[in-house]
Amino acid sequence: MNTVAVIGAGTMGAGIAQVAAMQGWQVRLIDVNKNVLSSAITGLQKRFHRLVEKGKLSDQEGCEFFERIIAQDSISDLQDISLAIEAIVENLDIKRKVFVALETMAPTSAILASNTSSLSIAAIAEGAKRPERIVGMHFFNPAPLMPLVEIIAATTSDSHSVDAAYDIATSWKKTPVRAKDTPGFIVNRVARGYYLEALRLLGEGVASVAEIDQVMREHGNFRMGPFELMDLVGLDVNLAVSTSVYEQMDQHPRFTPHDIQKNLVKESHLGRKTGQGFYSYASETPIPALHADRKSFDISPLLRDALTVFSVKAGVTDAGSTEQYIFGRILGAVINEAGSAYSAGVASALDIDIAMQKGTNYPIGPLAWADSIGHRNVRGLLRSLDDHVNDARYIAADLFANAQ
């Protein structure tokens, strides 16, 4: 039986341990914090118990899976592992130390993977003796339910290690995609437009939190609006990713974090987990907790035409002009970022689309959406939006700028 060491028994580590155990692997679940470790084990026992109660596992399976997970509070005795997945705090120095320890304790044949959301795999591998074995395996939260795993190849990783990580993710019944070691990889880069453009529309007084969410749900068929999704993910987690991508992308205006979100984080309104974020969760039905400071805005005839063509081609036939404006700005930003990632060689068009559907539940892959809208129509909207805003965030990605 294969053995994996999962380092970090927090939200992600515990979820990854569950996935591996359910797919027939022995698991060493490691955390320096004994309290976290024991609550992770209790939590896993409860999860298996619940799956048995729901009839999804037999009694015997529930017990076997749980017994496969062994807790330990230090990185030691790992001679039997073929894979390690690091899921500790998002801190470069601490992660580097963990990889140095893993290299000492694990056999030289083992693949060493990081679940980092926003750090460079090559940077984590700096100081390692054999950086070629180090890759990214980026799971999504909750790991047992979300199918996507981004497999990250650093410039230092060898293809054997990357392929092995890909094959393991497949054998764990996940959907792996391949991505280059670039800021935010695929999902955390392409999704920025969904959140940040919604925040800008709110800040400009174009519409309220609830109205923007409704447009994206009802016209765009997104399962959740951008504010509902930020509240679910946690505003602090979402802001940390935006800030990290912004810094790594040389502070490009596409990624500028928004003051509204920064202020909510400062006030500890972090979303569902604290009972309030963009919505208040005090009663059964969430109530918007922020009021839109509405202001009038002008849309040039050229932009209006471009928005109509874009919306109709995107399948939105019954939206008013403000709804088209909200939809066009948010989806335009998402599609342009997908095009930019593709043009930069981060991943294939297919993997970008799969990642956005499986990692964040988009109804259609953004590049498939761009194909059905027509690249020239996408470019038309981006050019009109570029004239309309006072920064460089809507400059068309090469994929659309060069469309015939």
Ligand X SMILES: NC(=O)c1ccc[n+]([C@@H]2O[C@H](COP(=O)([O-])OP(=O)(O)OC[C@H]3O[C@@H](n4cnc5c(N)ncnc54)[C@H](O)[C@@H]3O)[C@@H](O)[C@H]2O)c1
The residues carrying an active-site annotation are 117, 138, 150, 188
Among residues 26, 36, 45, 313, which is the contact residue for ligand X, using CB under 6 A? Answer: 36
Report the DSSP pairing between strands 69-72 and 3-7: unpaired
Toward ligand X, which CB reaches closer, 187 or 385? Answer: 187
Report the DSSP pairing between strands 134-139 and 148-153: antiparallel
Toward ligand X, which CB reaches closer, 32 or 52? Answer: 32
Angle of CA points 146, 141, 251, to nearest 5°: 115
What's the min distance (Å) between Cβ of 89 and ligand X? 5
Q: What's the count of helices (H) and strands (E) in the chain, helices before strands?
A: 18, 10
| 9 lines the binding site for ligand X (CB under 6 A) | yes
Toward ligand X, which CB reaches closer, 244 or 336? Answer: 244
Among residues 3, 8, 153, 185, which is the contact residue for ligand X, using CB under 6 A? Answer: 8
Structure tokens at 61: 């399976």
- Part of the chain binding ligand X (CB under 6 A), chosen from 115-123, 191-199, 327-335, 338-346: 115-123
Inter-residue contact 86 to 45 (CB < 8 Å): no
Inter-residue contact 171 to 149 (CB < 8 Å): no
At residue 230, what is the residue type?
M
- Part of the chain binding ligand X (CB under 6 A), chosen from 5-13, 44-52, 62-70, 341-349: 5-13
- Part of the chain binding ligand X (CB under 6 A), chosen from 138-146, 256-264, 327-335, 388-396: 138-146
Among residues 3, 115, 238, 244, which is the contact residue for ligand X, using CB under 6 A? Answer: 115
What's the min distance (Å) between Cβ of 7 and ligand X? 5
* Region 55-94 residues binding ligand X, contact defined as CB under 6 A: 87-90, 94
Inter-residue contact 349 to 363 (CB < 8 Å): no
Q: Residue 104: which residues within 8 A CB-CB, separation 6 or more? A: none
Mask of contacts with ligand X, 213-252, x by CB under 6 A? ------------------------x---------------
For the stretch 238-244, contacts whose Cβ atoms lie closer than 8 Å and that sit 24 or more positions apart, written own/partner, are 238/195, 239/265, 240/90, 240/118, 241/117, 241/118, 241/184, 241/188, 241/192, 242/192, 242/195, 242/196, 244/117, 244/118, 244/119, 244/183, 244/184
Toward ligand X, which CB reaches closer, 121 or 399? Answer: 121
Q: Rule CB under 6 A: which residues touch ligand X?
A: 7-13, 30-33, 36, 87-90, 94, 98, 115-117, 139-141, 237
